[in-house]
Amino acid sequence: MSQYEHTCMIRGDGGQTIRAVLDRICDKWTLLIVTTLEGGRLRFTDLQRQIPGISQRMLTLTLRNLERDGLVSRTVYAEVPPRVEYALTPTGRSLIPPALALAGWAMEHIAEIEASRAAYGERAG
């Protein structure tokens, strides 16, 4: 029995909870937001500026989900205009090492993956 199967049996939900958490962590923007916030608190616009290609809507939705899941905290300051800052929680910070390990794996294997994609494209083409 694999560790995944064992964990699913303990939870008794057939892996549903684990898949939901992995869906959040592995979406298109989460790891970019988490690693960008590694340096400290950022305002929404600063965060958006540092993540190329993310729309205001996607940043808003992803931050909302990360806040709901306890990975990001949102602090609103009663100023005019209101200032809102986002920061990693301790749980969010704990995601940095595995995220960096995954990015390292991708960098280590990108040449093999690209070669495999090209070979597949030639066969399927």
- pLDDT tens for 12-40 read 677 777 778 887 888 889 999 999 999 99
Predicted model pTM: 0.79
Q: Where are the domains of the chain?
A: 3-94
| CA pair distance 21, 3, nearest whole angstrom | 17
CATH topology of domain 3-94: Arc Repressor Mutant, subunit A (1.10.10)
- pLDDT tens for 44-100 read 999 999 999 999 999 999 999 999 999 999 999 988 888 899 999 999 999 999 988
As to burial, measured by CB atoms within 10 angstroms (0-12 exposed, 13-18 middle, 19+ buried), residue 70 is exposed
| CA gyration radius, the chain | 18
